[in-house]
Amino acid sequence: MTVIVTPSSGHKAGDTEKTDGGGARGRRLPRIPDRIRQGGLPYLLLLPAVVLELLIHLIPMVIGIWVSFRQLTQFFIRNWGNSPFAGFDNYKIAIDFDAPIGQALLHSFLVTCAFTVLSVGLSWLFGVTAAIMLQENFRGRSVLRTIFLVPYALPVYAAVITWAFMFQHDNGLINHVLYDQLGLTDRPSFWLIGNNSFIALVVVSLWKSWPFAFLMLMAALQNIPRDLYEAASIDGAGIWQQIRTITLPSLRPVNQVLVLVLFLWTFNDFNTPYVLFGKSAPEAADLISIHIYQSSFVTWNFGSGSAMSVLLLLFLLLVTAVYLFLTSRGRKGSDV
Amino acid sequence: MRTVRAAAAIALASALTAVAGCGGGSSSGGGGSNESPKTLTYWASNQGPSIEADKKILTPELKKFEKETGIKVKLEVVPWADLLNRILAATTSGQGPDVLNIGNTWSASLQATGALLPWDQKNFDAIGGRDRFVDSAVASAGAEGQDPSAVPLYSLAYALYYNKKMFADAGISQPPATWDQLIADGRKISKDGKWALGAEGANLSNNIHQVFALGKQHGADFFDKAGKPTFTSDGAVAAVKQYIDFMAKDKIIAPGNAEYAQNQSLQDFAKGKTAMVLWQAAASTFASQGMKPEDWGVAPVPVPSGTPGTGQNLNSMVAGINIAVFNNTKNIDGAKKFVKFMTSDAEQKLLNKTYGSVPPVKAAQEDPAFSASDVKVLRDTLATSAAPLPQVANESQFETTVGTAVKGLFADAAAGKPVTTESVKAALTKAQQQMAQ
């Protein structure tokens, strides 16, 4: 979308303005110098986004941090400005891993880590495999691409509710296939309660996220010059060697962004567990987002819930910073 | 590379900022005003088979009220899943309805927020006096010793609904009156893909309602006089174990019920897969699922021995819906007039008949419609053997923590893991520790 304006075309445009619009301009605001106009325009265009970002994200975030230092329970929600100052009490309770509340938070954190690693890892693997397989032109490729993208296009709620039906113990499709048809299990399994709920959660999350990985990687693959593959194959490189030495290194910049974004989305995923399990997720699938929701909205202790949110934010900031530091260092090294 | 970085920065910023964020608008002082005396906003709870059905039922009544008083009522029927969160948001922001329905178990919790108009002598007088209402219903409208935070609107109690044909097929002539009889009958019925009793094992509130009544029968309250949780008392442990044992030991509840949370047990009942459910006013749901009134019978919930009564023969919570006035209303007089209208004898008869509930207004109860067998069982239970759930400020935490513990124990039972007194006690201990904030 870059527009290259040559000096002559710019001059011409200026001439036209002078002759056609000169009379009208006299009544307009005094002309803003080009230097400022050109320098200020990007900021002016950014302004609506910045204002909305402040309103929608940053101000609630700051309020959230403020709340985390208050003892904001149901007794004060009506007049929350008057809630007593709690200092670091909410934080102390949240990270006291010997006490029940801290223990539950730690457990939830670990479950979320395991869930994120599995979901992001598998999403990337599925995405990259499908993208590579669909790189060659063959009959039906566009149909397959469209089908693969369907989960990404479906509204999350509708999709996850459908999964919840499929995971039902008595009438669900999953048990029908695994137990009734294939006989893989001794008896119908429970997917929405107990330990299997973790598997159900990973499956739904994977189903939901991998098309995004697929889409990004497919776009990135288009940018790899065909000549490279041709040259490699003339030199006798096999398919695996080509993937290892051409495809994967070329995908690196996209992978860096993709993995980070998938990580953040998955770690914070609220919709999937909420729609699958309702307000109280089974212990094995107690993701941190739903745990924090319970700690604030269900038990009405917003100070405690906010403190947990802030801790989560700090953790994600830290991970992101370390990730960006490591990957950018690697990139600089490779650029040299 | 710059575009990649920019994209990364944008995605990162939006993903990160989605994490923290908890707060609301400003708050305003207490007491209502009469700034807009010609309109009211009313949040009704979902009492009928659907939101649309509720609108159809209530709209003509609201028109009647408008004709009488000139006040236009804007109606919104709020689904149960959203109602409490909507009330909390309204409380925090000060922007809410003028009049609203609340589940009566939330009364004390919401009372503690100060969001609802207290019903003192003067306010009760404005709607005809406190004496018009059944005592147990008023007792479920707020903490003891404080002015109620709401007025009873529809009352409900638990009853045992049983499938007459399934009972006859199993050679059982009358519904069980004690738990021992229920288990014995249940074993006769539970075979060939049919089960005796239905449960909503993953529904936290329903779990609480069931174990609360069983707790009373074991002499246990879940809170002491000072409002401190006592979830691990012997009686409480025995009550929870008894409820789980219907699935784990007695095998009269289908294991699949452990994941039910959306009234699937009523569907099973209507389809003839389950012979009994313990429920409040289930008649209209059964009818909507194609059952005929003669297909099912209604009996009091069983007790340990003897007949339902007080003390250890209590067999239900006082369930029901209360109507409250939001303290920030801009039409306080109109709001009270509307509560008076909704609790008038005529409206009480009409609405409770439609919803299959019992009027908490004594005079309205005298209508012969409330002596029909279905409703009579509910009415007698409310009058003689029901108690309100603990009216403590942290009642909603109680529902969450203990309800979740029961849900987890049902999951164990369904998976065939042993459920022992120790495992029940451990689950309840964990629930109690999470209350200690």
What is the residue extent of each domain of chain B?
Answer: 39-155+320-387, 158-317+391-435
Q: Which residues of A touch B411 (CB under 8 A)?
A: 190, 193-194, 282
**pLDDT at residue B435, as a whole number:** 81
Q: Which of A193, A277, A292 to mutate to test the interface with B (most CBs of B within 10 A)?
A: A193
Q: Which residues of A touch B20 (CB under 8 A)?
A: 60-61, 64-65, 306, 309-310, 312-313
A312:B408 CB<8 A: no
Tell me the pLDDT tens digit for each residue of A216-225.
Answer: 999 999 888 8
**pLDDT at residue A73, as a whole number:** 85
**pLDDT at residue A76, as a whole number:** 87
Tell me the pLDDT tens digit for each residue of B153-180.
Answer: 999 999 999 999 999 999 999 999 999 9
Average pLDDT over residues B390-411: 91
**CATH, domain range B39-155+320-387:** 3.40.190.10
Residue ranges of the domains in chain A?
Answer: 32-98+301-336, 100-284
Contact map slice: B 50-109 vs A, CB within 8 A: 85, 88, 91-92, 94, 109
Average pLDDT over residues B90-100: 92
Average pLDDT over residues A263-290: 92
Instruction: Give the strand pairing for B151-156 and B319-325.
Output: antiparallel
Tell me the pLDDT tens digit for each residue of A65-93.
Answer: 999 999 888 888 888 888 899 889 999 98
Residue environment code for B19-39, b if the CB has 16+ CB neighbours within 10 A, otherwise e: bbbbbbeebeeeebeeeebee
Q: Which residues of B touch A253 (CB under 8 A)?
A: 1, 4
Average pLDDT over residues A109-135: 95
Q: How far apart are CA B150 and CA B165, in angstroms?
A: 42
Residue B27 confidence class, pLDDT cut points 50, 70, 90: very low
For residue B100, the SS3 value is strand
Q: How far apart are CA B81 and CA A25, in angstroms?
A: 59
Q: Which residues of B touch A305 (CB under 8 A)?
A: 22
Largest CA distance in chain A: 87
Average pLDDT over residues B64-78: 96
User: How close B111 comes to chain A (CA, Å)?
Assistant: 9
Number of A–B residue contacts, CB under 8 Å: 168
**CATH, domain range A100-284:** 1.10.3720.10
Provide the angle, in degrees to the nearest 10, between the axes of the packed helices A302-335 and A59-67: 130
Q: Which residues of A touch B24 (CB under 8 A)?
A: 80
Contact map slice: B 26-55 vs A, CB within 8 A: 26-27, 29
pLDDT(A17) > 80? no
Which of A74, A101, A264 is nearest residue B109 as measured by Cβ atoms?
A74
Rounded to two decimals, the pTM is: 0.83
**CATH, domain range B158-317+391-435:** 3.40.190.10
**pLDDT at residue A10, as a whole number:** 39
Tell me the pLDDT tens digit for each residue of A254-266.
Answer: 999 999 999 999 9
B21:A264 CB<8 A: no
> Does the CA dihedral A156-A159-A165-A168 come out positive or negative?
negative
Query: Which amino acid is present at B201?
Result: G
